[in-house]
């Protein structure tokens, strides 16, 4: 069995092409359901964030990727563009997953949000029944790698992540944030973090808009408590946005609506009458803000692609920590693959025979030292017979596994056998 990754990210596609592959929670569950129902792969996890959509799979071969891409295309409304896809297998796939968990493959290197996003993806796979023995092991090891990098290197120190980069750029485009008014569309984490960063940097007014008024009110109350009396906070419904957008200096949008929330038709009139420019920050994939709004003279429209330059600047401040983080990822990926290789039946049979042979010789040596008169050859012949009888059942089982494709349950049995006979070592764990 081999671990594979297929997907697209900000490395291979700009946001206009990436948003076609973006999957919400229900779409992820539908894709995982099809994978399980049609046995496309025995195990799969789907990761879909603003910067990437990728599928981590376990299979004897990757020959069914075409079937997977057909289902993905159906969910996304058209064929998947092959040129934007990357594919990794084996050690490269494991290394990729660990680099993602360590925030080494993020648009803002060192950001903290990705670990939570990976955990959400894993929980959905567990819910859909597509996370089996190997992906349980892989994802939990990836979480450990992410935490190691955060705690053992300086990669994630300070303010990190696209929300903070977005807030910094918005402040620059506004000419400073002191006294500015912020309109937040959506109650998602990215928008919340960006809004909090704007308020910390001097903005004094916040309007939270959401399609669910109760969620808008809850987030507004949380922000009010966090910021204190110095900040004025209120909540509205999304339908009220056109009537208040003209008051905002910065608009942050991350709704997950899957379509434009702000268009020239519904807000251009309100924006045209502003004396000062307004900064529209679109953190959504798919995008929330119609690109045509960026053509208005007093609008500064920023999307995820526009944040790349600022992300590169943030990377410059963290470059010193990258080698140590990469070393952790490499060592952990190689150790994981050694452990996976150790679950192959033939090496395990050899290891088991060698372990019992060493044990036999050690015990005969000890017994002959204590009792020099014993006949060593008879003891050797007798104990070899005992060893053969002990090995008969396990080796028969292992040989049977070697003649048929290993599924997750078989690999779990091999792992249990290794631990039962104490055949593990630090390098293989």
3-state SS record for 215-238: HHHHHHHHHHHHHCCCCEEEEEEH
d(CA 345, CA 295): 63
Tell me the pairing of strands 2-9 and 86-89. Answer: antiparallel
- CA 244 to CA 306: how far, in whole Å? 26
Q: Are strands 232-237 and 205-210 parallel, antiparallel or unpaired?
A: parallel
Whether the per-residue pLDDT at 119 is higher than 90: the answer is: yes
**DSSP 8-state symbol, 262:** B
pLDDT in tens, 274-315: 778 999 999 989 999 999 999 998 999 999 988 877 777 666
- Return the C-alpha torsion angle 270, 275, 277, 281, nearest 10: -30
Instruction: Check: CB of residue 333 under 8 Å from CB of residue 101.
Output: no
More confident residue, 31 or 228: 31
Residue 429's pLDDT is what?
39
| CA gap 104, 98 in Å, rounded | 9
Residue range 227-231: mean pLDDT, rounded: 81
409 by DSSP, 3-state: which?
helix
Q: Where are the domains of the chain?
A: 2-158, 162-308, 357-406
Segment 172-176 mean pLDDT = 91
Instruction: Tell me which of 50, 76, 227, 337 is the catalytic residue.
Output: 50
Quote the pLDDT of residue 273: 77
- In this prediction, residue 428 carries a pLDDT of 39
Query: In angstroms, how far is the first alpha carbon of the chain from the final one?
Result: 18
42 neighbors 4 (Cβ within 8 angstroms):
no
To the query of whether residue 76 is one of the catalytic residues in this protein, the response is: no
- Give the model's confidence band at 64: pLDDT under 50 very low, under 70 low, under 90 confident, else very high: confident
**Average pLDDT of the chain, as a whole number:** 88
- For residue range 152-169, list pLDDT tens digits in order: 998 877 666 788 888 889
Q: What is the rounded CA–CA span in Å between residue 286 and residue 256?
A: 7
Residue 29 has pLDDT above 80, yes or no: yes
Q: Is the pLDDT of residue 426 over 50?
A: no
**Mean pLDDT to the nearest integer, 248-276:** 89
Q: Which CATH class is domain 2-158?
A: alpha beta
For residue 407, pLDDT beyond 80: no
Question: What pLDDT was estimated at residue 272?
Answer: 80
Given a contact cutoff of 8 angstroms between Cβ atoms, the answer to whether 249 and 276 are in contact is: yes
Token pair recorded at residue 122: 């894993």
Spatial contact of 266 and 242, defined as CB atoms under 8 Å apart? yes
CATH topology for the 162-308 domain: Rossmann fold (3.40.50)
pLDDT tier, 331 (very low <50, low <70, confident <90, very high otherwise): very high
Both tokens of 108, joined, read 């803002």
| Sign of the torsion angle spanned by Cα atoms 74, 77, 79, 83 | negative
Question: What average pLDDT does range 54-58 have in this prediction?
Answer: 96
Report the predicted TM-score, pTM, of the whole model to 2 decimal places.
0.80
Q: Which residue has the tokens 């379509």?
A: 259
The answer to whether 3 touches 136, Cβ cutoff 8 Å, is: no
Q: What is the structure's pLDDT at 406? A: 54
The Cα 370–Cα 336 span in angstroms is 43
Q: How do residues 342-393 score in pLDDT, each as one tens digit?
A: 777 777 788 888 888 888 889 999 989 998 888 888 888 889 888 888 888 8
Q: What is the mean pLDDT of residues 90-113?
A: 94
Q: Is the pLDDT of residue 91 over 60?
A: yes
Average pLDDT over residues 198-222: 91
């Amino acid at each position: 069995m081999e671990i594979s990754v297929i997907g697209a990210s900000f490395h291979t596609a700009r946001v206009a092409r990436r948003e076609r592959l973006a999957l919400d929670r229900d779409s992820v569950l539908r894709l995982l359901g099809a994978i399980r129902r049609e046995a496309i792969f025995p195990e799969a996890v789907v990761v879909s964030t603003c910067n990437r959509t990728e599928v981590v799979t376990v299979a004897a071969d990757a020959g069914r990727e075409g079937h997977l891409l057909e289902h993905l295309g159906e969910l996304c409304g058209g064929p998947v563009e092959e040129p934007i896809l990357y594919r990794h297998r084996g050690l490269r796939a494991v290394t990729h997953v660990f680099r993602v968990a360590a925030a080494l493959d993020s648009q803002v290197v060192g950001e903290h949000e990705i670990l939570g996003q990976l955990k959400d993806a894993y929980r959905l796979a567990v819910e859909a029944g597509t996370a089996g023995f190997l992906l349980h092991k892989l994802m939990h090891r990836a979480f450990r790698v992410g935490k190691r990098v955060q705690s053992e290197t300086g990669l994630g120190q300070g303010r990190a992540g696209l929300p903070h980069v977005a807030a910094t750029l918005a402040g620059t485009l506004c000419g400073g944030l002191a006294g500015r008014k912020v309109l937040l569309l959506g109650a998602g984490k990215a928008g919340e973090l960006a809004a909090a960063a704007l308020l910390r940097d001097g903005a004094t007014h916040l309007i939270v808009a959401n399609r669910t008024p109760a969620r808008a009110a809850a987030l507004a109350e949380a922000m009010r408590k966090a910021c204190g009396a110095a900040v004025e906070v209120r909540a509205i419904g999304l339908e009220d946005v056109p009537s208040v957008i003209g008051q905002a200096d910065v608009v942050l949008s991350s709704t997950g609506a899957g379509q434009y929330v702000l268009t020239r038709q519904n807000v251009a009139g309100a924006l045209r009458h502003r004396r000062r420019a307004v900064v529209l920050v679109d953190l959504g994939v798919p995008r929330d803000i119609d690109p045509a709004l960026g053509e208005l003279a007093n609008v500064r429209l920023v999307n995820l692609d526009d944040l790349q330059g600022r992300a590169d600047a943030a990377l410059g401040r963290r470059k010193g920590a990258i080698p140590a983080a990469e070393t952790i990822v490499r060592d952990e990926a190689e150790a994981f693959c050694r452990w996976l290789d150790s679950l192959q039946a033939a090496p395990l049979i050899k290891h088991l025979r060698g372990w019992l042979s060493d044990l036999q010789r050690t015990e005969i040596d000890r017994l002959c030292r204590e009792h020099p008169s014993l006949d060593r050859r008879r003891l050797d012949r007798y104990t070899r017979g005992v060893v053969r009888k002990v090995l008969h059942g396990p080796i028969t089982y292992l040989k049977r596994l070697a003649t048929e494709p290993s599924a997750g349950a078989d690999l779990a049995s091999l792992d249990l056998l290794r631990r039962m006979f104490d055949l593990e070592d630090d390098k293989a764990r």
